[in-house]
Amino acid sequence: LWIQQLAAGLLLTSGIALLATFLHTLPGLGLFSPLILAILLGILVRNTVGTPQICQLGVTFSLKRILKFAIILLGLQLSLQQVVEVGPAGLSIVAVTLLGTFVFTCWLGKQLGVSRKLSQLIAAGTSICGASAVIAANVVVDGHDEDVAYAVAMVTVFGTASMLLYPILPGLIHLSPQAFGIWCGASIHEVAQVIAAAFQDGAVSGQIATISKLSRVMLLAPMVLTLGVVSARSVKHGQKFSLRQIPIPWFVLYFVAIILVNSLNFFPADAKAAVIQANQFLLAISLAAMGLETDLAKMRQAGLKPLYLGAASWAFISIFSLGLVEVFYR
């Protein structure tokens, strides 16, 4: 039975990815990458006819397993030389933006009267890596299911907004491909959203954004560890926090390993080009799944204050990181 459910979900996400790829070839829609079209189609399906229950297992598999595998394969497009190009300035922008956004979001949540747990989940999702950070942080925050659902929906929607808006801005604010890539990597919520937005501005922006974003993802474990230490002070009934609960983003390490091997020019050029092309479709499948998991109604159910917090956190990370990019890359 589980094989049928897995196959049904994979057929749905793959079908949406195929449709997005086709729509990308039509006049007027060529401005949008298949990745962006895939997530928009997924959101449309989820919030109109709904995601069939039999497809849920395959949708989850697409969002978690296929996405991580596709990110690992992105290492084929990167080398150590490109990592060096991000440089200390780019990595500093990423770290300062993450810390500043997390602190600001938790502070504003307290001012608005949003619960501490929900504020921390929104802060983690916005400052680190979207839904995966929300879920990872909840291991130690121990929020209600509604808190997790709200935070996931929020970072997905606002991250999608960044994904759609950012590509039209480089020419307006005169950002170089490197600066735009670092801005995307330092401020857009989900890894896949960063990839979709940054590659719209070209390969250089996309590659640098990927490195910048994944350097944020690497900070997930220490951030969750810190949250665990803070949360442990308010834990009751003798519950204990275990270091074993800290999620380690192993796929990031595999991604780095692929970069190292690729830097040695080990892979044949033709084979590598074919894999890179196929990987774009895997990313489209993952983004279709992300759209199918985005329930816009959940944002209405929890009231407006957390929505204000999510919007303010999104605005802060976008503007604050852009200011840092302007300082370092002018």
pLDDT tens-digit profile of 172-183?
788 888 899 999
Q: How confident is the model at residue 235 (pLDDT cuts 50, 70, 90)?
A: low
Are the CB atoms for 39 and 131 separated by under 8 Å?
no
Give me the residue label for tokens 């670092």.
182
**CA-to-CA distance for 20 and 36, rounded, in angstroms?**
8
Closest CA to 150 of 129, 127, 128, 125: 125
**CA-to-CA distance for 77 and 272, rounded, in angstroms?**
9
Q: How confident is the model at residue 319 (pLDDT cuts 50, 70, 90)?
A: very high
Report which of residues 51 and 84 the model is more confident about.
51
Contacting residues for 242 by C-beta, under 8 A, at least 6 apart: none
Note the pLDDT of residue 226: 80
Report which of residues 20 and 142 the model is more confident about.
20
Cα-based angle 281, 286, 287 (whole degrees, multiple of 5): 95
